[in-house]
């Protein structure tokens, strides 16, 4: 099976909007990184996303810290194909955009990096936080072992939660979505 990393499509949507940190019902900010750690979210319910920079509204937006914000249409596609691998939180966006948007959280991390085919660095003893020592710091080339990812359609990589990975089945289902706003970079060699 082929897998792809999801990244923002700045070539076709250079003037895309940028969303701000989510807020809960009390108006308190929620750390957007909570939606990229690869586990279930347990904090206060997000209900709104302010628009930080107006622009082209894309159907699959990578907000602050690559927090996925998607249209309800994209959420329904992901829900059909990967229902047990994601959480969806309906939110309103901006002052006039209303509903129809969701924060999506991939709830799995998979230890699947093919280190022989990848080019990466790890955090050393001088890492800014002790918990980072030994974890991936940066990838110049990311390749995963599809056998280790088998059975997953959308996930984060263990020790590298920056990357959001999707299966080819997800990619093919999302490509027809108008103004999708993302590109799919292959992370498996076929």
Q: What is the mean pLDDT of residues 113-142?
A: 94
Task: Give a three-class secondary structure readout of 91-132.
Answer: EEECCCCCCCEEEEEECCEECCECCCCCEEEECCCCCCCHHH
The alpha carbon of 138 is separated from its chain's Cα centroid by a whole number of angstroms, namely 17
Q: What pLDDT, on the 0 to 100 scale, is given for residue 95?
A: 77
Classify residue 44: in a domain, yes or no. Answer: yes
Q: Which residues, at least 6 apart from 16, have a Cβ–Cβ distance to it below 8 Å?
A: 8, 10, 55, 56, 57, 58, 61, 181
Which pLDDT band holds residue 96 (cuts at 50, 70, 90)? low
Count, residues in the chain: 190
Residue 164's pLDDT is 97
Number of domains in the chain: 1
On whether residue 87 sits in a domain, the answer given is yes
Q: Locate tokens 């690559």: which residue?
A: 66
What pLDDT does residue 36 have? 92
147 within some domain:
yes
**What pLDDT sits at residue 99?**
76
- Within a domain: 73: yes
Q: Which domain holds residue 169?
A: 3-111+141-186
- 14-54, pLDDT tens digit by residue? 999 999 999 999 999 999 999 999 999 999 999 999 999 99
Mean pLDDT in the chain?
94
Q: What confidence score (pLDDT) does residue 94 get? A: 86
185, two tokens? 């970079």
Cα separation, 165 vs 10, whole angstroms: 18
Task: Answer yes or no: are the C-beta atoms of 64 and 46 closer than 8 Å.
Answer: no
Residue 122 lies in a domain: no
First to last CA, the chain: 9
Asked if residue 13 is part of any domain, the answer here is yes
Which residue, among 153, 185, 173, 6, has the nearest Cα to 76 in the 3D structure? Answer: 173
> For position 185, what pLDDT does the model report?
97
For the cut 70, the answer to whether the pLDDT of residue 98 exceeds it is no
**Average pLDDT, stretch 52-57?**
91
Q: Tell me, rounded to whole angstroms, the distance of Cα 84 from its chain centroid.
A: 16
Given a cut of 90, is residue 11 above it in pLDDT?
yes
127 assigned to some structural domain: no
Q: Is 78 part of any domain? A: yes
């Amino acid at each position: 099976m082929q897998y792809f990393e999801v990244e923002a499509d700045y070539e076709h949507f250079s003037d895309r909007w940028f969303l701000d940190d989510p807020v809960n019902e009390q108006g308190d900010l929620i750390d957007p990184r909570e939606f990229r750690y690869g586990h279930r979210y347990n904090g206060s319910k997000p209900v709104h996303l302010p628009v930080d920079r107006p622009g082209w509204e894309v159907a699959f937006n990578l907000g602050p810290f690559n927090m996925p914000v998607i249209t309800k249409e994209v959420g329904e596609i992901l829900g059909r194909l990967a229902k047990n691998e994601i959480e969806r939180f309906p939110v309103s966006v901006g002052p006039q955009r209303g509903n129809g948007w969701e924060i999506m959280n991939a709830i799995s991390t998979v230890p699947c990096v093919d280190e022989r085919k990848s080019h990466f660095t790890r955090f050393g003893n001088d890492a800014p936080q002790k918990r980072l020592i030994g974890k991936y710091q940066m990838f110049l080339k990311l390749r995963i072992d599809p056998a280790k990812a088998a059975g997953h359609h959308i996930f984060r990589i263990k020790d590298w939660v920056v990357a959001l990975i999707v299966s080819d089945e997800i990619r093919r289902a999302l490509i027809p979505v108008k103004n999708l706003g993302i590109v799919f970079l292959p992370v498996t060699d076929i």
